[in-house]
Structure 1
Amino acid sequence: MGRGIVQFAEYRAFEVQRQEASNAMMGLLAGAQLASHLLQLTAGSDTLLPEVFPRVPHIRRFNLRTEAALSILQSADTHLGAMSVPYALALHEDFLKTCVGLLIRDGKAPSNAANAVLAQLHDVIETATCKTFDPDSIIQIDTLRLMRNATIHSGGRAHQPLVDRVALWTPTAEKGWMRIAKKSLAGIAVGDRVEFGHAELILTLAVTKSLGRQTNVILRDSLSRSLWANLVIEDVLAEEPGILNRHQLERKAAGKARRYYAGLGLTDSELSAAMLVVLANT
């Protein structure tokens, strides 16, 4: 098949969600720093923040003096990271489940693959397609997943699965990690503190973006052309819930295929056949 990303409906939705989440996370991080900068103007004051900023919503829940508030805001990266990284991983997991659903629909994965979780989903896709993800990306996503698990289930302390995974890092995986995170987890021991900061959040967003694109290419080269053609028709009908006549549907499907599915090179005859199948099952 042709090169390039296939912008199928679920992938477009994933990209929008991923970008919105990224913007929101960066906004929260920037907001904490902006608030910290603003509070410099009240340094030394004994007045509580609700009295200084009475019109700020929810300020009474932050009923502190400037010095205490500054301390919290200046360390907000760690807390925001601990909340944001699991969210970013959840978005990635949801997209992978959608992709596995397409493989099941195409007869390339067993129906029970729908029950797979993040720790299994990349393997499920590789097994179903006989294609592979970048090994370093898998090492990094597994490490982030285990860091998340340690944060949620082990009180923010490294557990044995995380230690074992880091021990298997390749030099290139560690180099890629350090390029963004600016520090290595090599040598981490059970009980060590696991912290998420701005760098780990950026790393998570970068890794999930890369793996999302890799998944897209794997599907592009693995799903049957008939299923891709069906997805084009379904894409059109989802955006055009009104009644379309055959000519309108053919025209819109051709336009949709050119705009979002160009890398597949679907033909008019393939789209026409798909239209009959989809309409018969609608």
Structure 2
Amino acid sequence: MNNAMTALLAGSRLAGHTLQLTSGSQRTLAELFPAVEHISRFNLRSDVARSLLNNADHHLASVALPYALATHEDFVMASINLLRNEGIAIQTGGKPIKAWNMHTVLFDSAQHPRPTDWLESFDLLREIRNCTAHAGGKAQTRLTDHIAAMGTASITGWQRLNRQHPNDVVQAGTVRLIAEHIFTAFAVTKHLGREINAALAAAVPKTSWARIAVEDYQSTTSRVKNSSAWRRGLVGYARVNYGQAKLTENELEQAARTLNYWTLATWK
């Protein structure tokens, strides 16, 4: 998703740069580039098209933020379900689990410290998304109140990522998105994802992680069970994809035997 959205952003710049070659032309893009698929849907003169492409950041960010946050929300909810399925009590405080409290529920349930500064940046992105999606881009009270309540560390972090103070998100009562907000959404959700991985690794028993890793590997591999290639593949797969759980080869072997994916007398 990160690469795809960055490709769109870079693509708008590349296209705008390319259209410099047609400066002064009165022909439309469909006339100039008839072989380009879908060009008729963007059939403008090159100067008009170039202006739109060079100012696409706000629109791309309006698409990227909901996409990034929705993907992350799905990951967080799945992680909470993993804890629940492992018999860990979910600390909801008697409230439904929503985007605004899902991180608190997860970290508290896993008994993992809350990454407060990053959560404040996430909630700022969430309020920006809400204004864009539900208020026509008008800055709502929840957004301005959140910015006013942000701590010094989270403000510094936001400035480092965006080269602007959080207050600059709102201009003349309207949310103004920039390209850096796209990268910030990816950076914040990536950092929180790593925190969640650490929380899950500590909270979920290693026997469960070994079982999950073996089942995951078996669902993706074409190697024959009980073969040395299957065994080596499992060890490598767990090291790359489940490194946070720090699974030993013995733990993987026991899980593979329990699941009847390895039935030979010896493991080697």
Structure 2 length normalisation: TM-score?
Answer: 0.85
Separation in 1, partners of 2:60, 2:20: 21
Structure 1 CA distance for aligned equivalents of residues 6 and 232 of structure 2: 41
Are 2:185 and 1:204 equivalent residues in the alignment?
yes
Alignment partner of 1:162: what SS? helix
Cα RMSD after superposing both structures? 2.8
Given that 1:92 and 1:208 are in contact with CA atoms closer than 8 Å, whether structure 2 keeps it comes out as yes
**Do the aligned partners of 1:167 and 1:187 also contact (CA within 8 Å) in 2?**
no
Residue 223 (structure 1) aligned to one of 204, 226, 231: 204
Distance 1:186 1:66, change over 3 A: same
Shift of 1:25: 1.3
State the 1:26 CA deviation.
Answer: 1.4
For 1:102, which of 82, 86, 91 is the aligned residue?
82
Range with greater deviation from structure 2 (203-212 or 54-63): 54-63
| Structure of greater relative contact order (alpha carbons < 8 Å, 6+ residues apart) | 1
Which of the residues 167, 171, 185 maps onto 1:186?
167
2:174 partner SS: coil
Tell me by how many angstroms 1:110 deviates.
4.3
Matches within 5 A, 1:15-54: 21-54=1-34
Kept in 2, the 8 Å contact 1:139–1:169? The answer is yes
1:171 match? 152
For residue 217 of structure 1, report the CA deviation from its aligned partner.
0.8
Contact (CA 8 Å) 1:181, 1:199: kept in 2 or not? Answer: yes
Q: Which amino acid aligns with 1:108?
A: I
Distance change >3 Å, CA 176–CA 271, structure 1 → 2: same
Q: Aligned partners of 1:241 and 1:185: how far apart in 2?
A: 50
Cα deviation, 1:191-237, whole Å, max 9, x if unaligned, reads 71112221111111111111111111111111112211211221222
Report how far residue 144 of structure 1 moved. 0.1
Identity of aligned residues (%): 36
- CA distance in structure 2 between the partners assigned to 1:202 and 1:262 by the alignment: 26
Deviation track 1:111-157 (CA, whole Å, cap 9, x = no partner) reads 999x7332222011122112123111000000001100100000001
In 1, are the aligned partners of 2:117 and 2:153 still within 8 Å (CA)?
yes
Contact 2:137 2:174 survives alignment (8 Å): yes
- Structure 2 distance, partners of 1:197, 1:188, is 9
Runs of 4+ aligned structure 1 residues displaced above 3 Å come to 109-113, 187-191, 240-243, 245-273, 275-280
Q: Does 1:158 align with 2:139?
A: yes
Higher mean alpha-carbon deviation, 121-130 vs 39-48, is at 39-48
Unpaired segments of 5 or more residues in structure 1? 1-20
Summarize the alignment of residues 104-143 of structure 1 with structure 2, pairs less than 5 Å apart. 104-110=84-90, 116-143=97-124
Structure-to-structure mapping, 1:253-264, within 5 angstroms: 253-264=234-245
- Alpha-carbon distance change, 89 to 187 in structure 1, aligned in 2, over 3 angstroms: closer
2:119 is aligned with what amino acid? I
Q: Please list the CA deviations of residues 217-275 of structure 1 after superposition, one character each: whole Å capped at 9, or x if unmatched.
A: 11111111221121122122212367624987666544444454455443455434433
Aligned equivalents of 1:175, 1:259: Cα separation in 2: 33
- In the alignment of these two chains, the number of paired residues is 259
- The TM-score normalised by the length of structure 1 is 0.81
Aligned partners of 1:217, 1:165: CA distance in 2, in Å?
27
Alignment of 1:74-85 (within 5 A): 74-85=54-65
Counterpart Cα distance in 1 of 2:193 and 2:244 = 17
| Stretch moving more, 65-74 or 257-266 | 257-266
Gaps of at least 5 residues in structure 2 are 262-268
Provide the rounded CA distance (Å) in 2 between the counterparts of 1:235 and 1:85.
30
User: Structure 1 residue 58: deviation in Å?
Assistant: 1.2
Q: What is the alpha-carbon distance in structure 2 between the residues aligned to residue 252 and residue 164 of structure 1?
A: 51
Are the aligned partners of 2:12 and 2:53 in contact in 1 as well (CA < 8 Å)?
Answer: yes
The answer to whether the 8 A contact 2:137-2:175 is kept is yes
